[in-house]
Amino acid sequence: MLRLFANAHYDFISVRRYAYVATAAVILPGLLLLLIRGLNYSIEFTGGTLVQIQSRTPVNVATLRTGLDHQGIPGSEIQNFGAANEYVIRARVAKPGTDANDTQSAARAVSQALDATLGAGKYTVVRTEAVGPKVGGELRQKAFLAIFLSFFAVLAYLAYRFEWRFGLAAVTATAHDILATVAFIGALRLEVSLTVVAAVLSMVGYSLNDTIIIFDRVRENLHKHKKDTFEQILNRSINETLPRSVLTHGTTLASLTALTIFGGEVIRPFALVMFFGVFTGTFSSIYIAAPVLMAIEKRWPGQLARGHLGAAKPAGVPVTGRKAQPVA
């Protein structure tokens, strides 16, 4: 059976500084754009009413927006959804001055505006979702809390499974993944819904799994290769897990590509975020987690790494530190 990258000997750690520059070139502009434009929250987090309709014939979006404006519902977001005659209308409140928590009133106002614009009976309501602003705010807080608590859960697990140095490196890489993914979401103006939050949490789990597999191999190699430096141990471990990474990530990315193209509007944001997350998670496992672990071990060496932090030992030199005895 063909085994890809079975005998790879790439020096990943020596080019880590170029990787830092590359990731900064992606994350910093994305975060700057995010600060300027903000995130595009769905009504699940801001509150409001979503109405998906299907008209008999395609209608100009500008006509729908003008009709809603004339009925006293300004600022509504209208998008084509799937077919040319399907639309999604997001209204934050029913009418200016009305109770923002009265989602039923907002839904009725949208229906009245559509009757006046398209004509009663000339469209079909596919679905209606309504969330109050208070509920939306609570959902947003809980979503951020879920991501934040996942950091501590990971740190505790890795501290128990390995040691705290590995946990800190893994959490740093995960923070990198989340920053990069949020910048990606902001740059593409993807709507931040519960589906997208689920994709971010899935991406965190996927990235951590990849990092833990490499760290597990690092721990094995620290015992097996006593003469190697810590940098050589990291490179060896990444290269040994490379065949698994290529096959796993390749098949996952192929599935996510299919979901992005054929999955429809509901699944597409999830697939896009996961696609980027798999890519950046693989990158961070190699170029963020491993170099950060090396920096931590050099600053606060653990018991396993102490014998690997000096220069590489030449072949033939005993690793026990005992002097060679002269031959009589």
Check: CB of residue 210 under 8 Å from CB of residue 174.
Answer: no
Distances (CA, A) of 137 to 102, 131, 140, 242: 15, 10, 5, 43
CB 10 within 8 A of CB 166: no
Structure tokens at 260: 């992005």
pLDDT tens column, 274-313:
999 998 999 999 999 999 999 999 888 877 777 777 655 5
Of the listed ranges 2-6, 153-157, 226-230, 268-272, the least confidently predicted one is 2-6
- The percent of residues in the chain predicted with pLDDT above 90, rounded, is 16
Q: CB neighbours of 91 closer than 8 A, spacing ≥ 6? A: 48, 49, 51, 68, 73, 76, 106, 109, 110
Task: Enumerate residues 6+ apart whose C-beta is below 8 A from 255.
Answer: none
Question: pTM value?
Answer: 0.75
pLDDT digits (tens, 9 = 90+) for 165-178: 888 898 889 889 98
Which one has a higher pLDDT value, 4 or 320? 4
Residue 235, pLDDT score: 93
pLDDT at 327: 35
- pLDDT tens digits along 185-217: 988 888 888 788 888 888 888 888 888 899 989
For 98-152, how does the pLDDT look when each residue is reduced to its tens digit (9 = 90+)? 555 566 677 777 888 888 888 888 888 887 777 766 666 777 777 778 777 877 7
Mean pLDDT of the chain: 80
Reading the block at residue 284, the tokens are 């961070």
> How large a percentage of the chain has pLDDT more than 70?
85
Angle subtended at Cα 174 by Cα 241 and Cα 149, rounded to the nearest 5 degrees? 130
